[in-house]
Amino acid sequence: MNINMLMQQAQRMQKDMEENIKKAKAELAQTEVHAEAGGGLVKVTMTARFVVKRIEINPELLQDDADMIEDLIAAAVNDAVRQAEEISDEKLKGANSGMGLPPGLSGMF
């Protein structure tokens, strides 16, 4: 096999991987995760690209201490981020699969 053929194959693989990652990121932007804290007193909807779409606060909670409300919002957002990261990692891992990348390198994309 000559070097030109190897270079063309590498370029095709790179282009395929870039297209797969672009497609995966577009899908992640449309994927929503839902998280809650305080037994459902605070609910967060976020995309798997970490865009918070909605925060719902139970009206009963608004009469409580502001510190508690802030803590519950933070807990719900952190849970949503964790879920989004899991989905994102899995989706991007799938986009890189089959590219013949060395172990550990596929996680960089």
Q: For 50-95, write each residue's pLDDT tens digit.
A: 999 999 999 988 888 889 999 999 999 999 999 999 999 988 887 7
Helix 66-96 with 3-30: angle, nearest 10 deg: 150
Distance of alpha carbon 24 from alpha carbon 106, whole angstroms = 14
59 part of a folded domain:
yes
Domain with 89 in it: what CATH number?
A: 3.30.1310.10
Distance of alpha carbon 101 from alpha carbon 47, whole angstroms = 28
The helix/strand/coil state of 5 is: helix
2 part of a folded domain:
no
Is the separation of the CB atoms in 35 and 79 below 8 Å? yes
* Each residue's pLDDT tens digit, 27-53: 999 999 999 999 999 999 999 999 999
Nearest to 92 by CA among 33, 10, 31: 31
24 part of a folded domain:
no
41 part of a folded domain:
yes
97 part of a folded domain:
yes
Residue 70 belongs to domain spanning: 32-108
